[in-house]
A and B are shown apart, each in its own frame.
Chain A
Amino acid sequence: MMQMIESVILPDLLRAGLLDDAAGAYASFEGWIRNHNEGQEVHRLEYEAYAPLAITEGERVIAEALAKFPVLHAHCVHRSGLLEIGECAVWVGVSAAHRDAAFDACRYIIDEVKIRLPIWKKEHYVNGDSGWVNCERCAAHA
């Protein structure tokens, strides 16, 4: 499942949704807002998304992960709106029978989400400037 939300991400609650008696492994990834980027001090971050397509494309990524790796459940949640330093911007959780598949699927999902979903981020710097972040890997992928 792929979700775009404007409220706080609660990893513990999301983790509970992946519980399965057949699962021997759980892997998750959290992307946090850090206070610096490329030499600039970051004050906060603003995410803009085109939610209808972000969800469609995110669902596609998750379906690919479920097909590629022997996992039981996979879920991704991405924030939009204004986020403060330390907040969780994206969460990915995967449960599987074994850890290799859980790690691999989790990695696949976050990597694809970053380069395929119509989501943009604008950094607001401590000095008052702001700028859209250009993902170099995304450009390389395109």
Chain B
Amino acid sequence: MMKTLTVRYFAMFRENAGKGEEVVHIEADTAADVFNQLRDRHASSEPLGHCKVAINDEMVSWDNPVTDGDVVLLFPPVAGG
């Protein structure tokens, strides 16, 4: 089913996408679907498992479902400290 989602990109994903945020209309059931379908935007060469995702400001796993209106945050591999 088509969903309207707000997707936010961070760090190298933002630079690759050329924008920090966009509204997308995609067929996606899970957070992983969103990541995979937007590969041409974030251009990640990283395996999914190296990245993280949050939905509506909650860290979730990649198999978490997405629903219409969600804000999906795509995080490249983190490197704090």
Q: Using a CB–CB distance below 8 Å, which chain A residues touch chain B?
A: 31, 47-50, 52-54, 56-57, 78, 89-90, 110, 113-122, 132-135, 138-139, 142
Contact = CB atoms under 8 A, between A and B. Distances in A.
Interface of B: 10-12, 46, 49-52, 54, 57, 59, 73, 75-81
A114 B11 contact: no
Given A119-B78, A119-B81, 8 more contacts: A53-B54, A90-B80, A90-B81, A118-B10, A119-B80, A120-B80, A132-B79, A142-B77
Contact of A120 (B11, B46, B50, B57): B11
A114 B75 contact: no
A120 B73 CA distance: 14
A132 B76 contact: yes
A142 B49 contact: yes
A132 B46 CA distance: 13
